[in-house]
């Protein structure tokens, strides 16, 4: 259900039925998506995984329709969320899968409770309800086989949703933490630095038991090479078949590590953006809320410089003096040559202050002249 075929080429990926994406564009969207409480969703999903099977006791039989109804609502709510996320939003995803699956096996169930006169009440084309008072041990061997089949399909269905939720948890915890490490410096990492950070990160996770707490793929994947027409050009593409989203995100992440296509959290607005192998920046290019004509990148770099100035008294004094002298030049109280001479001298003074040839007080007094 969540599996797909993907063709990788350079820094792009073509997903069958969903079109083209940049490397790690999908991971960025998942990092950025405002999920409901994923741990809570996971617990609910596991609870359905344990309980959704053909009733084995009279108690289970009595509560079965209620369980199915809650399941239909729960999984349809997940479908709505998944419809907002790439690549699924561009695919024609099947909805209402639990309802459909239950209807494939509706010969087990009554649409209304306590009705067994089928001549007067022909079965509807679709059941809305799934009542039964027969438990598993009441079924004849043929029906037993059918019930086992139903159980297996229910298990597979719920498992796919459970793994999807786990994949989302892994993105929000493990992937986010790993990317923080990758972006600790102020530059793209080279191959050796990448290996070191990856090694250290993975060794910290050794003791963890759950796969969604680790930087690992989920599901299965297979790979073949196929000719593919990309932008009018016939090229040999790597074609992967992923059974889960988690398998795809894993491969895509490492491709991005190699070709510098990586999600990063913006140092100003805190949202994720995709670095695309161009100049490294800790800031995104969204326009800021205060000033629509400025992006985080415009304001962020200015802020970084301002922070630096404010934490460096020598630089602060130098910057003030520079602005004063520049204003004098603009008001024509200084000629261009005088200003240039002063600017060179000011730089020299600043360096002497850094080298402690001048005390801070001497420097501050001299540069104001
Ligand atoms: Zn930003």
pTM of the model: 0.81
Which class for 12: exposed (0-12), middle (13-18), buried (19 or more C-beta within 10 A)?
middle
Which run of H or of E encompasses 296?
helix 296-310
CA–centroid distance, residue 190 to ligand 1 (Å): 25
Instruction: Write out residues in the chain with pLDDT < 70, as ranges.
Output: 115-122
Beta pairing partners, 9: 12
CA–centroid distance, residue 299 to ligand 1 (Å): 9
CA–centroid distance, residue 288 to ligand 1 (Å): 7
CA–centroid distance, residue 330 to ligand 1 (Å): 35
Encoded tokens for 262: 């990586």
Report the 10 Å Cβ neighbour count for 132.
18
CA–centroid distance, residue 81 to ligand 1 (Å): 25
Please give the pLDDT value at position 262: 96
Nearest to 188 by CA among 284, 258, 268, 269: 258
Which run of H or of E encompasses 273?
strand 272-276
CA–centroid distance, residue 291 to ligand 1 (Å): 12
CA–centroid distance, residue 104 to ligand 1 (Å): 49
Q: How far apart are CA 269 and CA 295, in angstroms?
A: 10
> Alpha helix locations (H) across 38-140?
38-51, 58-82, 97-104
DSSP-based three-state secondary structure for 33: coil
DSSP secondary structure string for all residues of 161-180: HHHHHHHHHHIIIIIHHHHH
Residue 222: CB partners within 8 Å, gap ≥ 6?
240, 241
Please give the pLDDT value at position 315: 85
Q: How far apart are CA 20 and CA 33, in angstroms?
A: 20
Please give the pLDDT value at position 56: 97
Are the C-beta atoms of 51 and 64 separated by less than 8 Å? no
DSSP secondary structure string for all residues of 334-349: S-HHHHHHHHHHHHHH
To 10 degrees, what angle do helices 313-330 and 296-310 make?
110
Are the C-beta atoms of 253 and 175 separated by less than 8 Å? yes
| 3-state DSSP of 117-154 | CCCCCCCCCCCCCCECCCCHHHCCHHHHHHHHHHHHHH
CA triple 313-318-320, angle to 5 deg: 95
CA–centroid distance, residue 199 to ligand 1 (Å): 30
Please give the pLDDT value at position 121: 65
Please give the pLDDT value at position 302: 78
The single-letter DSSP state of residue 256 is H
Report the 10 Å Cβ neighbour count for 196.
11
CA–centroid distance, residue 298 to ligand 1 (Å): 10
Are the C-beta atoms of 257 and 182 separated by less than 8 Å? yes
Q: What is the pLDDT of residues 56-92, one digit of tens each?
A: 999 999 999 999 999 999 999 999 999 999 999 999 8
């Amino acid at each position: 259900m969540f599996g797909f075929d993907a063709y990788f080429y350079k820094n792009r990926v073509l997903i069958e039925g969903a079109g083209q994406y940049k490397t790690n564009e999908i991971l960025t969207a998942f990092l950025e998506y405002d999920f409901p409480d994923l741990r809570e969703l996971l617990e609910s999903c596991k609870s359905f995984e344990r309980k959704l099977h053909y009733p084995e006791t009279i108690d289970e039989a009595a509560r079965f329709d209620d369980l199915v109804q809650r399941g239909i609502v729960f999984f349809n709510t997940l479908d709505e969320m998944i419809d907002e996320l790439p690549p699924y939003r561009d695919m024609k995803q099947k909805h209402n899968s639990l309802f459909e699956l239950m209807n494939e096996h509706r010969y087990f169930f009554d649409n209304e409770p306590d009705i067994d006169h089928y001549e007067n009440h022909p079965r509807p084309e679709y059941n809305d309800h799934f009542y039964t008072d027969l438990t598993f041990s009441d079924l004849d061997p043929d029906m037993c086989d059918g019930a086992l089949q139903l159980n297996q399909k229910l298990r597979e269905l719920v498992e796919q949703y459970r793994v999807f939720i786990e994949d989302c948890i892994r993105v929000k915890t493990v992937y986010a933490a790993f990317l923080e490490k990758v972006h600790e410096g102020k530059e793209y990492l080279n191959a050796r630095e990448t290996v070191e950070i990856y090694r250290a990160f993975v060794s910290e996770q050794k003791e963890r038991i759950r796969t969604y707490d680790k930087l690992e793929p989920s599901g299965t994947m297979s790979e073949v090479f196929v000719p593919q027409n990309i932008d009018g050009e016939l090229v040999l593409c790597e074609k992967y078949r992923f059974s889960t989203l988690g398998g795809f995100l894993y491969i895509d992440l490492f491709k991005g590590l190699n070709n510098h296509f990586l999600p990063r959290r913006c140092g100003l607005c805190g949202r994720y953006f995709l670095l695309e192998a161009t100049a490294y920046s800790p800031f995104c290019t969204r326009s800021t809320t205060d000033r629509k004509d400025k992006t985080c990148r415009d304001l962020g770099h200015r802020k970084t410089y301002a922070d630096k100035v404010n934490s460096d008294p020598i630089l602060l004094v130098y910057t003030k003096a520079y602005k004063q002298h520049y204003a004098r030049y603009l008001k024509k109280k200084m000629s261009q040559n005088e200003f240039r001479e002063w600017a060179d001298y000011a730089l020299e003074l600043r360096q002497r202050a850094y080298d402690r040839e001048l005390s801070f007080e001497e420097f501050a007094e001299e540069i104001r002249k």
